[in-house]
Amino acid sequence: MAKILKLNEISEVAEKEFPAGYTFAADVKNPDGIMLRSFNMHDYPLNDELLAVARAGAGTNNIPIPDCTAKGIVVFNTPGANANAVKELVLCELLLGGRKIVDAIDWVKTLKGTEGISKAVEKGKSKFVGHEITGKTLGVIGLGAIGVMVANAAADLGMKVLGYDPYLSVQGALHLYTTTEMSDLDSLLKKADFITVHVPLTPSTEKMFNAETFAKMKEGSVLINNSRGELVDELFSKPCAAVNWSAISPTSPPINSSENTISSACRTSAPPPPKRRTTAPPWPPKNWSTTSKTVTSRTA
Ligand SMILES: NC(=O)c1ccc[n+]([C@@H]2O[C@H](COP(=O)([O-])OP(=O)(O)OC[C@H]3O[C@@H](n4cnc5c(N)ncnc54)[C@H](O)[C@@H]3O)[C@@H](O)[C@H]2O)c1
């Protein structure tokens, strides 16, 4: 029976997928298959018995695909499996990027034990005024499993959505609200108040956010990166600890997300949300796959 090596902790759901007799453990020698999440396999020896590598996640940049191809080892991933989780993080980061919520929480903690705390709050709260995201423009770079969900959710919140994806799949296009305005990259960079990036890390996307890109961005705009840190030139990136989020103002040195502000005027009465298609089919579809790789698990 086949031996499957776990290079990371994998959900127990995956274990139940293997028929009886399969070994699925972290200490397997000469495995027939490998399952992993973020383990970096680039310097990992590929034994002769190895038939397949399965990544419980979307990105495959931690797997030496050319070496696997040369040895006839099939590489699988699970595109879309965690798309909703990432979408929710992006929504949270959009709100954090528009308001000084983290700073306000920190400030409130300093007021513990203060006499007349209500008055102190009334007096001090104006320092944390922020901006609504309704009516703002969101640029979504990469309209795959995650990008489409983010674009549609942002439209539901009343944002104007610009999309850029030169390789947009038919599935992606079919699930995108028709109100999404497709754009070239330069126009998106110029117009967006918030930019969120959902592309794989490849040689062509590495450092796609660099001095030239930032120079084109609108002053005070916010970049949200939940994909891979290497997409942003490290000179401009200062990710938060909890999420791989770089919130950057193109006209100022690298700053913390909580210090970031949007310089455009605050809208107190937002325009009505754009008309949109609300009957999109469920997303991502069960058999979603953007590459020739196969979806093997519903667990990432
Ligand atoms: N933070 C996390 O926990 C987490 C979770 C899942 C995925 N990710 C990252 O997010 C990335 C996207 O995930 P996904 O599931 O949406 O992948 P996906 O394959 O469904 O979509 C990627 C999209 O990017 C587009 N694309 C490729 N190169 C591009 C370019 N140069 N410019 C614009 N668009 C381009 C493709 O056409 C595709 O539509 C993954 O590759 C992974 O690195 C992060």
| Mean pLDDT confidence for 123-138 | 93
The protein residue with its alpha carbon nearest to ligand 1, atom 4, reads: 227
Distance 159 CA to ligand 1 centre (A): 21
Q: Where are the beta strands (DSSP E) in 61-159?
A: 74-76, 137-141
Please work out whether the CB of residue 258 comes within 6 Å of at least one atom of ligand 1: no
C-alpha to C-alpha distance for 83 and 282, rounded to whole angstroms = 12
In order of 12, 218, 271, the CA distances from 204 in angstroms are: 35, 23, 38
Ligand 1 atom nearest 290 alpha carbon: 19
Residue with the bigger pLDDT between 293 and 89: it is 89
214 CA to centre of ligand 1 in angstroms: 20
Residue 96, pLDDT > 70, answer yes
Tell me: the pLDDT tens digits for 23-35? 999 999 999 999 9
Contact 195, 224 (CB under 8 A): yes
Cβ(83) to ligand 1 under 6 A? yes
In the chain, the domains with their CATH numbers are: 3-76 (3.40.50.720), 83-244 (3.40.50.720)
Give residue-wise pLDDT tens across range 241-292.
333 334 443 333 333 333 332 222 222 223 333 444 545 556 666 555 433 3
Pairing of strands 74-76, 137-141: unpaired
Question: What count of residues does the chain have?
Answer: 300
> What is each CA distance from 188 to 130, 148, 152, in whole angstroms?
23, 16, 17
CA nearest 91: which of 164, 168, 151? 151
What is the distance in A from the centroid of ligand 1 to the CA of 260? 25
Q: Cα of 83 to ligand 1 centre, how many Å?
A: 10
Distance from C-alpha of 212 to C-alpha of 217, rounded to nearest angstrom? 9
Q: Is the CB of 198 under 6 A from ligand 1?
A: yes
176 in contact with ligand 1, CB cutoff 6 A: no
Predicted TM-score of the model (pTM): 0.78
Contact 9, 297 (CB under 8 A): no
